[in-house]
Structures are given as structure tokens and as C-alpha cells.
């Protein structure tokens, strides 16, 4: 489902060059649930952004769903970015002026999906994360766990084949964090491929495989 070949990424600022990823080779099969671990600054978010086509590598090749990415500007790549991949972030990235329902619906509006289909997708996604009774709430009226469940609903409403989660439990206490990972595991049971960055060994051990990064390189 995800194939990375000799991926390198350098960040250049006026002062310094940072080799964020150094010749990464990695395959993730369809239906896998993979954890990415490693110290702060080792390149985990960069790796996720590259897999999600949010960021372009300096070197190497990436293929998603058996399609080699040839250009970062063409319509086909934009469509893959929007429809193949769902993102979940540590700090939820919800829009505070929109209620739960509207946050989940927004990406579907960008996709120009018809209203009736949007309604069905949003309703189903909120059911899956157990938030049907909070649809009219605004993010400021939700707990951290509920915010993250809203973000998961937003990611899955688009029915992505791949979910990329960057420290999804990083702002949650341990019990709520495990509940969020249980939701992800349920999505994985239904066939969604998941790559999740986490600092929590117990959570990582509950996934199929742990990939470890150190200074931009895969180790172990």
C-alpha cells in the first residue's frame, strides 16, 4: 500500500541544513497497522508528511496504492492526497468556529460531494467514533478525547484507504489515549492501513509492527 525507496529529505534554512530523513526504505502492506517510534526530532513527522504527499522528498521514490508519485502538482496526486489518505494530528487541528458536525463535513464540501451523500458519510463517521450526541458542540465544549474522536471522524468520513496519525494520543491521558487507539484498531480491522507515530511503548506494542527512527534513519 505504501512503498518508500531511498527517501531523503533535507531542510535548508539560511544558517543550517538538517538531514531530516536519510535514505529510508520501507514498505507497508495493505491492512497493516504500523507504529513509528523514535526521539524528538528524528524525522517522524517528516516521514508521515512525505507518505501523505504533504511534503516532497529531495530524493527517492514513493508509491501509494501501487501508483508511483511522479509529480507533486498534477491533479492525480492532489486527488490521491485528498481521497486516499486521512490525517490525524496530536493537536486535533479542528476549526473552532465550526461545530463537530461541520468540522467533519468540511473536507467533503471541498470535494464537492453532493449534500445527501455528505450527510450520510458524516452521520456514519460520527456513529463510528461514538459522538452522535455531540454533533452540535463546538471544540471548546469538548474534552480532549472527544476532540480527537471528532478529528478521526473527519479523517474517516472521506473513506481513506490509509490513515496517518501523528502522535494522536500525545495530548490525552493514558486511558483516553487507549480508547482512541482502540477506535483506530477497529478501523484497521475493517481494512484501513494505518501508520501511527507514538511515544507510548504499550500502545506501539498493540500494533502489528514497530518501525524505529533515529537521526533520520531506520534502525532495528
Ligand X SMILES: Nc1ncnc2c1ncn2[C@@H]1O[C@H](COP(=O)(O)OP(=O)(O)O)[C@@H](O)[C@H]1O
Binding site for Mg ion (CB under 5 A): 44-45
- Rank residues 35 and 103 by Cβ distance to ligand X and give the closer one: 35
Contacts (CB under 6 A) with ligand X, residues 4-23: 11, 13, 18, 20
Rounded Cα gap, residues 45 and 39, in angstroms: 11
Rounded Cα gap, residues 24 and 49, in angstroms: 14
- Rank residues 9 and 118 by Cβ distance to Mg ion and give the closer one: 9
Rounded Cα gap, residues 160 and 167, in angstroms: 19
At its nearest, how many Å lie between ligand X and the CB of residue 56? 12
Q: Which of 46, 103, 146, 188 binds ligand X (CB under 6 A)?
A: 46
Q: Could you say which of Mg ion, ligand X, none residue 43 binds, taking C-beta under 5 to 8 angstroms by partner kind? A: ligand X
Rounded Cα gap, residues 198 and 207, in angstroms: 11
Kind and range of the H or E run holding 12: strand 2-12
Report the alpha-carbon angle 180-183-188, nearest 5.
130
* Residues 6 or more apart whose Cβ sits within 8 Å of residue 49: 55
At its nearest, how many Å lie between ligand X and the CB of residue 48? 8
- Rank residues 22 and 105 by Cβ distance to ligand X and give the closer one: 22
Q: Could you say which of Mg ion, ligand X, none residue 41 binds, taking C-beta under 5 to 8 angstroms by partner kind? A: ligand X
Q: Which of 43, 52, 86, 160 binds ligand X (CB under 6 A)?
A: 43
User: In the complex, which residue's CB is closest to Mg ion?
Assistant: 45
Rounded Cα gap, residues 127 and 108, in angstroms: 17
Residue whose grid cell is 483506530: 184
Positions that interact with ligand X (CB under 6 A): 11, 13, 18, 20, 38, 40-46
Amino acid at each position: 500500500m505504501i512503498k518508500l525507496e531511498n527517501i531523503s529529505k533535507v531542510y535548508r534554512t539560511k544558517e543550517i541544513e538538517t538531514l531530516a530523513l536519510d535514505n529510508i526504505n520501507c514498505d507497508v502492506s495493505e491492512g497493516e497497522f504500523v507504529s513509528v517510534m523514535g526521539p524528538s526530532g528524528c524525522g517522524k513527522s517528516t516521514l508521515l508528511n512525505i507518505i501523505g504527499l504533504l511534503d516532497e522528498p529531495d530524493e527517492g521514490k514513493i508509491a501509494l496504492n501501487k501508483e508511483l508519485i511522479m509529480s507533486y502538482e498534477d491533479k492525480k496526486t492532489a486527488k490521491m492526497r485528498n481521497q486516499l489518505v486521512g490525517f490525524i494530528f496530536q493537536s486535533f487541528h479542528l476549526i473552532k468556529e465550526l461545530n463537530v458536525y461541520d468540522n467533519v463535513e468540511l473536507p467533503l464540501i471541498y470535494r464537492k460531494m453532493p449534500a445527501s451523500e455528505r450527510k450520510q458519510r458524516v452521520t456514519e463517521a460520527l456513529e463510528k467514533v461514538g459522538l452522535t450526541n455531540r454533533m452540535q458542540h463546538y471544540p471548546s465544549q469538548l474534552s480532549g478525547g472527544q476532540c480527537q474522536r471528532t478529528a478521526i471522524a473527519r479523517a474517516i468520513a472521506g473513506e481513506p484507504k490509509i490513515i496517518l496519525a501523528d502522535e494522536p494520543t500525545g495530548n490525552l491521558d493514558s486511558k483516553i489515549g487507549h480508547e482512541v487507539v482502540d477506535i483506530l484498531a477497529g478501523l484497521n480491522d475493517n481494512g484501513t492501513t494505518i501508520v501511527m507515530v507514538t511515544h507510548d511503548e504499550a500502545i506501539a506494542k498493540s500494533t502489528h509492527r514497530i518501525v524505529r527512527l533515529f537521526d533520520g534513519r531506520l534502525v532495528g
